[in-house]
Amino acid sequence: TSLLLMAGIVGAVGLSRRLTRRRLRSHPLLCTFLLEMLSTFQICACTNELCLLGNTEPKPHTGLTLTYGFTVLHGLTLPGSTCNPCGTLQPMWGGGTSLKMGGLKIGAQFVAAVLARVFMHSLWSLEMAEPHFGALWQGCSNPMQTTELQAFCIELLFSVVFQLTVLRAESINPKYKVHLLALLITMLVYAGGNLTGAIFNPALAFSLHPNCFYDKFWSYSLVYWIAPSLGKFLVFYVF
């Protein structure tokens, strides 16, 4: 049921993106906003569901396999979308994207993060699958299972590794690049998922753990917003 649900989300987003491109060509700002919002919505909604499946036996093989598979699927179905505020910052710093356009995309990403969380909560309330039972009452799932300093360093390191790989893989054939990045993300999740969740995406982190940001805003904003953004900053200016 969970897999069918995520497949339905991917299909609905794909159809919506196609209609958006076709109907809003004459409104580039609105078109850009909706395309980025829909793409980020797909990633956030599917990852929310994947988090519920992370404890499915056999562990951690099931969770890692689904992470790899859906990362490949996102890469194939969402070409041209960033879905990560850190990825949007690079062209803004480099002058390739205006402040207005960059702010529009980042705004779309956080709007999508909130909408995805609300949408998934409404689906979980229907309790269509066993993992949905009790999902609404979990509150802050506390993804940080280490000290704040170590969590900050882990998210910073993972962000640097991921962004460097993205830069180095620009010349690779897209059909191979998708698998390379999916393999890297799966490895990072395996390495640090039990410590911080290995998210390195501010919008996705906010969608997965909004209650944690409400309870401990400064700690979680430092680890899940500032650390990956700083990683992007280091990659941009060093390399």
Helix/strand/coil (H/E/C) assignment for every residue in 79-119: CCCCCCHHHHHHHHHHCCCCHHHHHHHHHHHHHHHHHHHHH
Which pLDDT belongs to residue 31?
A: 95
pLDDT digits (tens, 9 = 90+) for 191-204: 998 899 999 999 99
Three-state secondary-structure class, residue 139: coil
Rounded Cα distance between 17 and 87, Å, is: 20
Kindly report, residue by residue over 120-138, the tens digit of the pLDDT: 999 888 877 777 777 776 6
Structural domain spans, the chain: 1-238
Q: Is the pLDDT of residue 4 over 80?
A: yes
Q: Residues 107, 94, 39, 140: what is their CA dihedral angle, to the nearest 10 degrees? A: -60
pLDDT of 158: 94
Q: Residue written as tokens 């699958």? A: 129
How much of the chain exceeds pLDDT 90, in percent? 61
Using alpha carbons, select from 74, 75, 78, 53 the residue that is nearest to residue 64: 53
- Angle at the Cα of 157 (from 71 to 38), degrees rounded to 5? 35
Give φ, ψ of 195 to 5 degrees.
-105, -45
pLDDT of residue 87: 87
Q: What is the pLDDT of residues 26-54, one digit of tens each?
A: 899 999 999 999 999 999 999 999 988 87
Q: For residue range 76-119, what is the model confidence (pLDDT) as tens digits?
A: 999 889 999 998 887 787 777 888 899 999 999 999 999 999 99
Q: Nearest-CA neighbor of 210 among 116, 75, 77, 72?
A: 116
Above 80 in pLDDT, residue 238? no
pLDDT at residue 211 tops 80: yes
- Domain 1-238 listed as CATH 1.20.1080.10: yes
First to last CA, the chain: 44
pLDDT tens, 57-67?
A: 777 888 899 99
